[in-house]
Homo-oligomer: A and B are copies of this chain.
Amino acid sequence: MESAFFPPKEQIHRLIREVLVEDIGQGDVTTAAVLTDAERGEGKAVAKTELVVAGLDVFREAFLLLDKDIIFTPLCRDGDRVKEGDVMARLEGALAPMLMAERSALNLLQRMCGIATATERFVRTVEGTKARILDTRKTAPGLRVLDKYAVLVGGGCNHRFALYDGVLIKENHIAAAGGIAVAVERARARVPHTLKIEVEVSNIKELEEALAVQADIVMLDNMDLDQMKRAVEITGGRVPLEASGNVTLERVRAIAETGVDFISVGALTHSVQAADISLLISPLAH
């Protein structure tokens, strides 16, 4: 996993544990009543549609946390594109924990594959331009670390993870400070010197102010294509430009062709289409 996000296993485990507790609580009444400890089963995770794989490790852990003796055999890797009908992984072991973890594991995997698949579509659409596709902080509450990892897997880049690891001076910060110059100056004096200072602008005049005070990055907020082109010309490569606001698959190519460096896309994570994946489980003779 060569990614800028390398979350320690510890933390992923804690998240999965909470997900299992949410679904299983004091026990799965159906499985406990109908099965015994003796039954064994085999499971196959099957893609029901073409998709980009993300989250196989998370999927595996959901089963292993319930029963460390389940044998999990991945048949693809994060980042692979699989076709409808492809078996993504195989499981073998006690049937009861397999049934108990099924929904939690799929909920995680389907969301992550959904994000990676959508991201890859955006990335492919801008291929050949220099624009890179970014995510945002519009993630599902509590799942940011997984949502952002899935964006990486899909070929996108991560914007700041949270409010604590990146400076983005927005309209309201500027209004409160009394102008772009003051806001940037305060940030430069006070934030750790390891952070760049990004400023959000909504028109050319503001862009010029941001450039004048040497912002490190400028975000073009909700500009139309002509404004963006003009912004690219004026900036002349001095700082990277990030396009933001209402970015759709239909419009993203045109945005990329304006010459901006980054395009951030909220929908990648705020409006996820779960990838269609089934777990086909069958009891094994014993």
Contact = CB atoms under 8 A, between A and B. Distances in A.
A145 interface: yes
B140 A22 contact: no
Nearest to A66: B8
A17 interface: yes
Identical chains bound together, number: 6
Contacts of A167: 29-30, 33, 194
Interface residues of A, number: 105
A contact patch SS: mixed
Interface stretch (A36-44, A70-78, A122-130, A206-214): A36-44
Please provide the 4 A-B residue pairs with the shortest distance between their CB atoms, ordered closest to farther: A166-B194, A6-B32, A165-B165, A28-B163
Interface of A: 1-11, 15, 17-37, 39, 41, 65-66, 95-96, 99-100, 103-104, 106-108, 110-111, 114, 134, 137-145, 157-170, 172-173, 175-177, 183, 186-187, 189-196, 198, 216-217, 240, 242, 261-262, 267, 270-274, 281-283
